[in-house]
Amino acid sequence: MASFVRRRTIRAITAVAAVTAAMVMAPIITTTVSSLSASAFVLSDSSTTRKSYSRSTIIVYGSAVPSISSEEVRSRNLHQLERLRERDRHSVEVKREDLKIIFEDDHIVCVDKPSGVLCVPSEEGIPTMAKAVFDYVSHKQSSLDKMVVHRLGMDTSGLVVFAKTMEALRGLNTLFRTRQITRVYEVLVCGHVSKDAGTIDLPLMRDYEHPPFMRVSTDHHQQALLGLDPAIVGKKLLEPPKPSQTRYEVISRETLLDTDLPVSRLLLTSVTGRTHQLNVHCAAIGHPIVGDKVYGLNGDAAPNGGLELQSSPGEMGTSTLELQRDIASCFDNRNMCAHAQKLSFQHPVFNSPLTFESKAPF
């Protein structure tokens, strides 16, 4: 037992050391962590038109490592997973006449998924985009799972590509694994983002307080993992933080619907493709995606991507809580404003360049 505890502790300490080292070595950071219990970060800027949000971007306040037991983490995770399963059961069925095919050849098919449709099944009998493609598109695959190479969240609309042959499946899996596919999303976020373009560079970790969701990783929250038992909470929760980068470009600064509430229309390029990366990054910089019921205001996940923001707008035009409340109030029962707008990659069989685009429904 003693050796097991030592091994587990060493693994956790190694994870904390990894994230701390990454913070110190990142080239865009202008300050280092002042302490493990209370860290003050500053905003770095290299030009007047482009901005890089980094690990040093957000001011984080904390006085003590959160105290939570392994049993409580497990209980919260099971409860939330059941809620997600129940939500998945409300996935909308895509009929043959509603299937919008953007491109198709003998090896791949690219479709435009509506919001409210689950991409892949979480349990048997639930209508999904993958099931519609498997049933209505001619292919050579023996099972639905052999067509799936990536997915979109249920609330996210837009482009999804499926493999019709095993050769295409192997090729697409390689392209996604080696990040040779460019994915661009169009989103509406709360508030006016003042900088025209830049990069959000914030590492992500599993959220032990709001499992199974994600949050921005800090040394403060990595410390909290030291007391958790992997046999109870699972090894995935204790994985080291993952570097995550999102490039953004402001298309327009608008008002929402028929109101005077400010929103920004952005193009987001997912560089690293982490789970829920775009949602967490937007929330963490104070501009949650409009209609995001998980990472937005009063959502199921930790607010602000797991960070505490300054209460008033900063130089990046961070949206206030009052603005987020007003937007949530007038946007209730509407779909989240996130759309997979563009996919670019080399054909997995013929190696020819492909680019698909789809107009956002909002």
Distance between CA atoms of residues 51 and 281, nearest Å: 14
**Residue range 198-207: mean pLDDT, rounded:** 97
The structure tokens listed for 74 are 């497990």
The structure tokens listed for 90 are 């409300």
**Residue range 260-280: mean pLDDT, rounded:** 96
Antiparallel, parallel or unpaired: β 50-53 and 338-346 = unpaired
Confidence at 187, pLDDT banded by 50, 70, 90? very high
Q: Are residues 321 and 204 part of one domain?
A: yes
Residue 325 falls within a domain, yes or no?
yes
**Residue range 343-358: mean pLDDT, rounded:** 98
Confidence at 244, pLDDT banded by 50, 70, 90? very high
Q: Taking 80 as the threshold, does the pLDDT of residue 66 lie above it? A: no
Closest CA to 152 of 338, 354, 280: 338
Residue 66 falls within a domain, yes or no?
yes
| pLDDT score, position 122 | 85
Q: Write out pLDDT tens, residues 2-35.
A: 443 334 344 444 444 443 443 333 322 222 222 2
**Residue range 328-339: mean pLDDT, rounded:** 92
Q: Are residues 154 and 23 part of one domain?
A: no
Q: Write out pLDDT tens, residues 34-47.
A: 222 222 222 233 33
Q: Are residues 140 and 74 part of one domain?
A: no
| pLDDT score, position 61 | 42
* Block residue for tokens 């994230």: 19
| pLDDT score, position 29 | 22
- Output the pTM of the full model: 0.81
Q: Are residues 131 and 48 part of one domain?
A: no
Lowest mean pLDDT across 40-44, 248-252, 279-283? 40-44
Lowest mean pLDDT across 41-50, 186-195, 306-315, 336-345? 41-50
Q: Are residues 305 and 235 part of one domain?
A: yes
Distance between CA atoms of residues 189 and 292, nearest Å: 9
Distance between CA atoms of residues 281 and 291, nearest Å: 15
Confidence at 249, pLDDT banded by 50, 70, 90? very high
Distance between CA atoms of residues 58 and 54, nearest Å: 8
The structure tokens listed for 108 are 């791949």
Residue 103 falls within a domain, yes or no?
yes
The set of residues, in sequence order, having a beta carbon less than 8 Å from that of 310 and lying 6+ positions away, is 59, 318
Q: Are residues 127 and 195 part of one domain?
A: no
**Residue range 302-314: mean pLDDT, rounded:** 70
Q: In this predicted model, which residue has the larger pLDDT, 50 or 213?
A: 213
**Residue range 239-259: mean pLDDT, rounded:** 96
| pLDDT score, position 309 | 61
Q: In this predicted model, which residue has the larger pLDDT, 311 or 246?
A: 246
Q: Are residues 207 and 65 part of one domain?
A: yes
| pLDDT score, position 319 | 84
| pLDDT score, position 152 | 96
Q: Structural domain tally of the chain?
A: 2
**Residue range 182-197: mean pLDDT, rounded:** 96
Of 54-68, 155-169, 213-227, 322-336, highest mean pLDDT: 155-169
Q: Are residues 19 and 104 part of one domain?
A: no
Residue 89 falls within a domain, yes or no?
no
| pLDDT score, position 2 | 42
| pLDDT score, position 255 | 96
Q: Domain range for residue 353?
A: 95-178+338-357
Query: Domain holding 103: CATH number?
Result: 3.30.2350.10
Confidence at 67, pLDDT banded by 50, 70, 90? confident
Q: In 10 A of CB 15, how many CB atoms? A: 20
Q: Are residues 141 and 15 part of one domain?
A: no
Q: Are residues 46 and 151 part of one domain?
A: no
**Residue range 77-102: mean pLDDT, rounded:** 96
How much is the mean pLDDT over the chain? Answer: 84
Q: Write out pLDDT tens, residues 123-168.
A: 889 999 999 999 999 999 999 999 999 999 999 999 999 999 999 9
Residue 351 falls within a domain, yes or no?
yes
* Block residue for tokens 């007003």: 326
Closest CA to 362 of 273, 281, 266: 266
CA distance to 43, 168, 214, per residue, from 234 (Å): 35, 33, 15
Q: Are residues 324 and 243 part of one domain?
A: yes
